[in-house]
Structures are given as structure tokens and as C-alpha cells.
Structure 1
């Protein structure tokens, strides 16, 4: 009888833990999909079209950008970055190749990191984008960028 009761108790505990893990897994999948959608709808589109209003929907006002381009250090505030986007010829208007590719998205609770590749003008950028979920919306809070050799596609 004690064995049966203990087995039932352990089985119930395992079901609760499994249900909690399943809920967490579903939440992470939903969050990953939300980030993927935001990257497609706002980040890649905003960069391609040179539309700072679209980019503003995914970039948190305090976002900082760091990295290297052509071997030179790259550090900008969001305002400096958006000013550059607003005053350059967009990839769309240039007629040059543009492609944004999501490599991975990792979510833990209210933070996430997306690794993306952006082919733009004559550059190939690998980027790490840090996200934070603020008021149910995923926004980029940090952008790390480096240019890399062209990928074989």
C-alpha cells in the first residue's frame, strides 16, 4: 500500500514538472517566433528600405551598437546609427544585393539573443542582437556587428 501511494505521488509530481516544462517550452517557442517575426517585419525591412520609423519599432531608445567594420572599431548610439540610416542611400534604392538571414534565436525568460547575417552593399555582417521583452514586446537593446568574408550560398 505504501509503495502504491509513493508511486502515485511520484507520478503526480513528474506530471506537474513535465507540464511546467512543456509550458516553458511552448512559451520559448512563441517568444522565438515573435522575435523572428519582429526581425523580418521591422529589422530587416527597416534596414533594407532605410526606414528609421520601421527600425524604431524594434530598437529600444537606449540601444547601443558596437563592433568592427573593415577592421575598424564601430561604436554608436542609437541616434547616431539612425541618423546614418536616414542619410544614406538605402539598399532598396541602390539596387545592390540585400539579404537578412536569421541564424539562431535563444530565449531565456525575458531576454534573448539572435544571431543574424546581413548581406548589404559590398558587406557581409554577422550580428548578435540582444533582446529584452518590455511590456509584452521584444525589442533590441544591444547590437554587436562585424563584417566577415562572403558566405557561399
Structure 2
């Protein structure tokens, strides 16, 4: 049996950076969590979004950061790791909205990064 403890911890940090970066409009955390060539895809208020990382960061920055002292809500519901590939199902809140995110991750140069985000906005 393979011990994936270090990979689980590293992926958890990536997810935390992603959610904190989104909630607090922190571009550096978002760029750390995502691969530069990633795509962010889903229906946002019934309109299809197919965003690059720069477009996603721009949209997050336009909304602005949450109030200081805000405790971001997120939870990894499932995590499947095979070698240097992983998929995480994450539930998180952003601007009063609840999302389910399916994050594809890849370990590149010993660093886990999100290579794609497919999301569902709960209505």
C-alpha cells in the first residue's frame, strides 16, 4: 500500500490557497494554486463560463475581498489520487453562494497544481 499522506496534505494546501485566494481576492494565492494554462468552466447564473486563469482572477478581483475576519468555508468531499494525478470534489462558499467544484490536479516538479476547475453553482 502506498502512503499518500504527504500528497493529501499538499493537495489540501492547494485547495486552501484556492479558496482563500478567491474569498480574499488574493491573486498570488490563486496563481500558486492554479496552473497558468488551466480553465475554469461552469454555468454562472445560467450563463456558460469558460475562463482562463487571467479572466478568473480578473473576475475575482472585480468582486473584491471578503471582510477581514471572514472564515472561508470549504470542505474536500472526495479525493482520488493516482500517481501524479488527482481529482478533488470540493464544496465551498463564495459571496454567499455555494459551489461544488471538481478540481483536476497534476503534480508537476513535485508541486501539486489545479489544471482544471469544473464547477456547479447551487441555486
Please report the TM-score for the alignment, with normalisation by the length of structure 1. 0.73
From 8, 12, 15, give the equivalent of 1:39: 15
Q: Please identify which structure carries the higher strand content.
A: 2
CA RMSD of aligned residues (A): 1.8
Matched-pair contact (CA < 8 Å) for 2:93–2:99 = yes
**For residues 21-48 of structure 1, what are the alpha-carbon distances to aligned partners after superposition, in whole Å with 9 as ceiling and x for unaligned?**
x2x2x0x3321221012212x1121112
User: 1:114: Cα distance to partner?
Assistant: 0.7
Q: Please identify which structure carries the higher helix content.
A: 1
Q: Map 1:1-153; keep pairs closer than 5 Å.
A: 22=1, 24=2, 26=3, 28-40=4-16, 42-92=17-67, 98-149=72-123
Matched-pair contact (CA < 8 Å) for 1:97–1:121 = no
User: 1:77: Cα distance to partner?
Assistant: 0.9
User: Is the partner of 2:63 in helix, strand or coil?
Assistant: coil
List alignment gaps of at least 5 residues for structure 1. Answer: 1-21
Partners of 1:55 and 1:104 lie apart in 2 by 21
Partners of 1:124 and 1:49 lie apart in 2 by 16
Matched-pair contact (CA < 8 Å) for 1:96–1:120 = no
Please report the TM-score for the alignment, with normalisation by the length of structure 2. 0.89
Bigger relative CO (Cα 8 Å, ≥ 6 apart):
2
User: Is the partner of 1:50 in helix, strand or coil?
Assistant: coil
List alignment gaps of at least 5 residues for structure 2. Answer: none
User: 1:70: Cα distance to partner?
Assistant: 2.1
Change (3 A) 1:36 1:144: same
Structure 1 outlier segments of 4+, above 2 Å = 95-98
Partners of 1:113 and 1:128 lie apart in 2 by 7
